[in-house]
Amino acid sequence: MVKICSSEQLLDRGLAYRFMLGERAAIALRYDGVVYGYLNQCAHIPIELDFNPGDVFDLSRQYLICSTHGAYYDPTNGLCLGGPCVGRRLTSLPVKEENGAVWLIEENIA
């Protein structure tokens, strides 16, 4: 496992923590107490979701939103619920929270 950040760095529905997975940008975030990880890459056009670093939640704090064309995603599974790529998904990353930190479970990455 590789440490991404400390648990306290992820506030619920707050800024995502940006990190690199090799050459790919990724994010970790917390929603309703649970930590999730995704590649930071919109399912519409493969560019980063956030214009302001880590700012991936919409105004309602219920969805992740792409700052470019407004696709919005279910934070729990990455499914696009509206916008130009509805029905597609963010690429989910295997993460877990343990011992006060958020970890990437490397061996589970395809």
The residues that touch ligand FES, with contacts defined as CB under 6 A, are 42, 44-45, 47, 66, 68-69, 71, 83-84
Distance (Å, whole) CA 50 – CA 20: 14
Which of 38, 103 has the CB closer to ligand FES?
Answer: 38
Residues 6+ apart with CB under 8 A from 101: 3, 4, 5, 6, 7
Residues in the chain: 110
Which of 62, 68 has the CB closer to ligand FES?
Answer: 68
Residues 6+ apart with CB under 8 A from 13: 30, 31, 57, 61, 62
Q: How far is the CB of 84 from ligand FES (least distance, A)?
A: 5
Which of 35, 66 has the CB closer to ligand FES?
Answer: 66
Q: How far is the CB of 90 from ligand FES (least distance, A)?
A: 10
Q: How far is the CB of 83 from ligand FES (least distance, A)?
A: 5
